[in-house]
Amino acid sequence: YISPSCERVTGYRPATFLADPGMLTAVVHPDDRAKFAHHLQHEFDRPDALTLEYRILTRTGEMRWINHVCQPVHGADGRWLGRRASNRDATKRVHAEEAYRNLVDHSLQGLVIFHNGLLVFANQTASDMTGFSREELLHWRAEDMVEQIHPDDRAFVWARFQDRVAGKTVPHHYGFRFVRKDEVVRHWEIYSSMFDYQGRPAIHVALLDVTEKWEAESDREQVLSELRENEARYRRRSAELETLHDISLRLNSQMDTAELLQLIIDQAIALMGVEAGLFFLYDPDSDQLVGEIATDYLTEFIGVRLTRGQGLAWQVMESLHAQIVSNYSSWAQRVSFQEQRPLLRNLLAVPLIGKDGLLGVLDLASEQRDFTDHDIWLAEMFAAHSTVALESARLLGERQRRAREMAALAQAGQAVTSQLEPDAVLSRVIEATQKLLGADGVWVLLRDEDAEDLLTVVAASQGMEQLSGLQLPVATSIAGQSVETYQGVLVDDTRSEPRFFTGIEERAGMAVRSLLAAPLVVRGAVIGVLEASQQASHAFRPNDLAMFVRMAGTA
């Protein structure tokens, strides 16, 4: 068995792999085929789960990284049945890790790691500082490193190192002199800390060459302050990356879009240390940004629709980059309805950019703190994780919606074929339609045999029964428009639609803001109209109308 998602990752359909087992190896990058073949030879010999990362070439020639996990499958009786493999597209993560390694490699600090008494990692800066190549450094024992320390400082540094390995409390920061490979003496500052590496304690060391400052007799306290600041920044960045990873796991575990948006807002507020958040979703049908969910003093923007060019959110959408506005209340380009909150001070907006375009904009507001360039970096990293989770939730939601549509059509079709009474058929169609759309009300209007210029409500959903008997004029109603054009009609807001018959709201006793209408056609003639409503505006979308028209066809 091969899941349908393999086509999204490889460009090839599952049938291609099932027809030609050799394709599993054929798509592997030539440089990785040897290790892939070695993995295949041994995966059935091992009783435990195995992992492998390798590259593939897609059908279009694009190179992608694959994270492969396989584990044994046993039956209820414990009998071994085979192995189940999961292959995930790890390209983005691998590229991000490569970028991070490149960042570490060219850090201003020399970074080394000692594990089991051996130097197991050194960045390029450490090589430049010592004068030894990285290949030479990676063969060093701790004693070899100490041998390069100035004789007057050697005993002191070695004692600190041994105390650190023994788990004793020693200062994290100190200075000493180091003799380079070319025998030039340099002054170094060091910051060391313990951490877990492959299940055993290891020492992480950050090195900073302060020779020029020592030789110039600069303020030593300034050197220490800068070192502490660098280390704090390094620790903060590491903590932030770890937090982002944890947040990503939480976001990707939530598949309900509405709950996911709330989780995104909550996590962003906690991560960025702000008081309020607002999420604008992009509506491609209207080309507008819609205030979907918000917290605290930004809840007034829920339901607000921004047209292209309005406010900071659209600036961010069009530039594809996060932006900061300080003193937002006095910002000349804010939209007019936002003047009602004069205390809104600092705002950071970041776009969510998906595979197929823009998903929306996340606004974060604070009256207590100023935003920095580092906040932009952190917000964009968070937005990237949120985008992946949101696209996954939307994909699942779309699949579930299609399943509901097919079930509703089947229910309506069954009603038509199994019921002889028209009233029973209409009742089943109304019930299925309301369940499918989540509409507040659904009703059927038929043309009056004695007065064809009128439409009469003959059946309605539960809670809308009071509409029965209501008559609407064909010439000046939305239902009449559907009759005259033989087409479905979608109204986002009835308050701006002159053909809306207000008697519907008066008789129903509730607001009707969003409205769908679809003609009931029998033998080429329109005999009536199926209508559905929501109390909220912009509640229906074009795909809802298309489905609604199909439902009307079953009646």
Specify the pLDDT at position 491.
95
Contact (CB, 8 A) for 103 and 237: no
- In terms of pLDDT, which residue wins out, 514 or 330? 514
Residue 80 sits in the same domain as residue 101: no
* Nearest by Cα to 455 from 515, 519, 514, 508: 519
Distances (CA, A) of 255 to 388, 399, 533: 11, 12, 27
CA–CA–CA angle 393, 71, 24 (5° rounding): 80
CA–CA–CA angle 316, 331, 365 (5° rounding): 60
The verdict on residue 238 lying in a domain is: no
Residue 66 sits in the same domain as residue 105: no
Q: Where would I find the beta strands (DSSP E) of 465-506?
A: 471-473, 489-491
Residue 118 sits in the same domain as residue 72: no
Pick the last residue of a domain from 189, 221, 253.
221
Q: How many domains are there within the chain?
A: 4
Residue 178 is encoded by which pair of tokens?
Answer: 């180091």
Pick the last residue of a domain from 69, 89, 109.
89
The verdict on residue 485 lying in a domain is: yes
**Across 41-55, 233-247, 367-381, least confident range:** 233-247
Q: How sure is the predictor about 397, in pLDDT bands with cuts at 50, 70 and 90? A: low
Q: Would you say residue 396 has pLDDT above 60?
A: no
**Across 27-36, 42-51, 263-272, least confident range:** 42-51
Beta bridge partners of 348: 324, 364
Q: How sure is the predictor about 336, in pLDDT bands with cuts at 50, 70 and 90? A: low
Q: How sure is the predictor about 367, in pLDDT bands with cuts at 50, 70 and 90? A: confident
**Across 100-109, 437-446, 483-492, least confident range:** 100-109
Contact (CB, 8 A) for 285 and 542: yes
Average pLDDT rounded to a whole number, residues 372-379: 90
C-alpha to C-alpha distance for 92 and 35, rounded to whole angstroms: 22
The verdict on residue 406 lying in a domain is: no
Specify the pLDDT at position 57.
96
Predicted confidence (pLDDT) per residue in 450-462, tens digit: 777 888 888 899 8
Residue 54 sits in the same domain as residue 141: no
> What is the average pLDDT score of the chain?
84
Q: Would you say residue 96 has pLDDT above 50?
A: yes
H runs (alpha helix) in 253-340: 257-272, 311-319
Average pLDDT rounded to a whole number, residues 329-358: 75
Q: Report the CATH number that the domain containing residue 510 is assigned in CATH.
A: 3.30.450.40
Strands 454-460 and 471-473: what pairing? antiparallel
Residue 424 sits in the same domain as residue 537: yes
Average pLDDT rounded to a whole number, residues 151-162: 90
The verdict on residue 247 lying in a domain is: no
Specify the pLDDT at position 339.
46
Specify the pLDDT at position 272.
87
Sign of the CA dihedral running 122, 124, 126, 131: positive
- In terms of pLDDT, which residue wins out, 162 or 415? 162
Give percent helix, percent strand, percent coil of the chain, each to the nearest 5.
Answer: 45, 30, 30
Average pLDDT rounded to a whole number, residues 341-362: 82
The half-sphere exposure of 102 on its side-chain side, counting CA atoms within 13 A, is 6
Residue 250 is encoded by which pair of tokens?
Answer: 């939480």
Specify the pLDDT at position 409.
56
Specify the pLDDT at position 188.
93
* Nearest by Cα to 54 from 79, 77, 31: 31
H runs (alpha helix) in 148-196: 151-165
Residue 112 sits in the same domain as residue 36: no
Residue 494: helix, strand or coil by DSSP?
A: helix
Pick the last residue of a domain from 58, 89, 120.
89
Q: How sure is the predictor about 394, in pLDDT bands with cuts at 50, 70 and 90? A: low
- In terms of pLDDT, which residue wins out, 168 or 499? 499
Q: Would you say residue 151 has pLDDT above 90?
A: yes
Predicted confidence (pLDDT) per residue in 460-514, tens digit: 998 899 999 999 999 999 999 999 999 999 999 999 999 999 999 999 999 999 9
The verdict on residue 24 lying in a domain is: yes
The verdict on residue 145 lying in a domain is: yes
Q: Of the spans 43-52, 93-102, 314-323, which averages the highest pLDDT?
A: 314-323
Distances (CA, A) of 90 to 17, 276, 358: 21, 33, 22
Q: Report the chain's terminal Cα–Cα distance, integer Å.
A: 41
* Nearest by Cα to 533 from 494, 495, 506: 494
Residue 131 sits in the same domain as residue 51: no
The verdict on residue 396 lying in a domain is: no
Q: Would you say residue 223 has pLDDT above 70?
A: no
For a pLDDT cut of 90, what percent of the chain falls above it?
31
Residue 426 sits in the same domain as residue 331: no
- What is the number of H-type helices and E-type strands within the chain? 18, 20
Residue 73 sits in the same domain as residue 186: no
Residue 546 sits in the same domain as residue 471: yes
Average pLDDT rounded to a whole number, residues 94-98: 78
Token pair 């597209």: residue: 89
Average pLDDT rounded to a whole number, residues 134-151: 90
CA–CA–CA angle 399, 400, 405 (5° rounding): 100
- In terms of pLDDT, which residue wins out, 482 or 390? 482
Residue 359: helix, strand or coil by DSSP?
A: strand
Q: How sure is the predictor about 55, in pLDDT bands with cuts at 50, 70 and 90? A: very high
Phi-psi domain of 357 (left: phi exceeds 0; alpha: psi -120 through 50; beta: other): left
Q: How sure is the predictor about 217, in pLDDT bands with cuts at 50, 70 and 90? A: low
Residue 29 sits in the same domain as residue 109: no
Q: How sure is the predictor about 398, in pLDDT bands with cuts at 50, 70 and 90? A: low
Provide the domain limits for residue 436: 419-554
Token pair 């917290």: residue: 295
Residue 350 sits in the same domain as residue 435: no
Average pLDDT rounded to a whole number, residues 76-98: 85
The verdict on residue 394 lying in a domain is: no
Residue 474 is encoded by which pair of tokens?
Answer: 């064909």
Q: Report the CATH number that the domain containing residue 79 is assigned in CATH.
A: 3.30.450.20
Average pLDDT rounded to a whole number, residues 258-270: 85
